[in-house]
Amino acid sequence: MRSAAIDGLRVIGIVAIVAGHVWSDQSNDIARMGLYTWHVPVFFFLSGYLWANERTLGVEFRKRVRTLLVPYVAWLLAIGAVYGTYLWANGQALQVGNVLLGGSYMGAPFFAFWFVTALFGACLLLRALQRFPVWLPWAVAGAGLTVAYLAPDALTAVPFSLGVAVPAVIFILAGISFRRIAPRLKSRGWVSVALLAGSAALIVTGLSQPLDMKQGDFGTPVVSVVVASAISAGLVLLFQRVFASIRPRVAGAVTRAATVGLAVVLTHSAFILLFSAFPIDLPAVVVFLIVLVVSWTLAYFISRMPLGSVFTGSAATPARRPSDR
């Protein structure tokens, strides 16, 4: 059973990722300040919040292959074939070597693909470390963060963003920790407000700089990681409160949107690139709305096809309203 609240947060996170890419080339400080600190970390945080301690490394590997790597490969081949044909028709060539290396090596239209392999690597790393003392995963993630602060290029040089996966484990651990303390929180609404408002204050004052995990940039040392985790926790509490009394029909719609969300993450950059080639200079907000609608519509229709799960990584399951999961 899925949680409509968590699925709602996933949907908002995907919308934020699309918005970040639409406005990224315009040096929009407001977009960077408002989105980049949390819109990727929140997915790692949610992986921790929903972490199943009893799962073995083998089960984790098979699950992540099915839900992450299979859609990654499927869309890589589909988009690569179309884009490669377009480049060939215009006397250019697809940089196959960079595409195969993944991660930060990939340019347009594969901007968001790094996220999939980084999440895959982070989940597998933490699962492998789970059998050791509790402090070891934190130490490994902390060491990764230290490298990110001192030599980010060393992380991004690792293919498939697997170097970035090491410090990214910190957000999964934060999600696991928050799940343990969340049931004991009183006045969850006020806690959510405090976490979000306090984080916003640190961002606006410049004390917490935005993250750009793809580039190995984890913002202001320690502070940005704490702020990203606090925002993620605050959003979880906020969405649980908002969705506590949601109607089943709305919950189902949110879950359907979330189950095909990975396809939106992997395809939206291609549509942004397509619109950038238009002879008409469309306003960014128009591009943003069109890309969202087209990407999600495509993802939905593909999910209805016999091999739809290959491109979405998930089969639709019923949503439920309880706020704890």
The per-residue pLDDT for 25 is 63
pLDDT at 323 over 50: no
DSSP 139-193: HHHHHHHHHHHH-HHHHHTSGGGHHHHHHHHHHHHHHHHHHHHGGG-SSHHHHHH
What is the Cβ-side half-sphere exposure of residue 52, based on CA atoms within 13 angstroms? 7
How would residue 45 be classed by pLDDT, with cut points 50, 70 and 90? very high
The per-residue pLDDT for 324 is 43
pLDDT at 318 over 70: no
What mean pLDDT do residues 179-200 have?
A: 93
Residue, of 187 and 71, whose pLDDT is higher: 71
Q: How many CB atoms are closer than 10 A to CB 284?
A: 16
How would residue 31 be classed by pLDDT, with cut points 50, 70 and 90? confident
pLDDT at 316 over 50: no
Rounded-to-integer distance, Cα 279 and Cα 98, Å? 28
Residue, of 247 and 316, whose pLDDT is higher: 247
CA angle, residues 82, 87, 91, in degrees to nearest 5: 150
What is the Cβ-side half-sphere exposure of residue 188, based on CA atoms within 13 angstroms? 19
pLDDT at 82 over 50: yes
What mean pLDDT do residues 164-182 have?
A: 97
pLDDT at 4 over 50: yes
Instruction: Dump pLDDT digits (tens) for 263-285.
Output: 999 999 999 998 887 777 888 89
Instruction: Dump pLDDT digits (tens) for 92-118.
Output: 988 999 999 999 999 889 999 999 999
pTM to 2 decimal places = 0.93
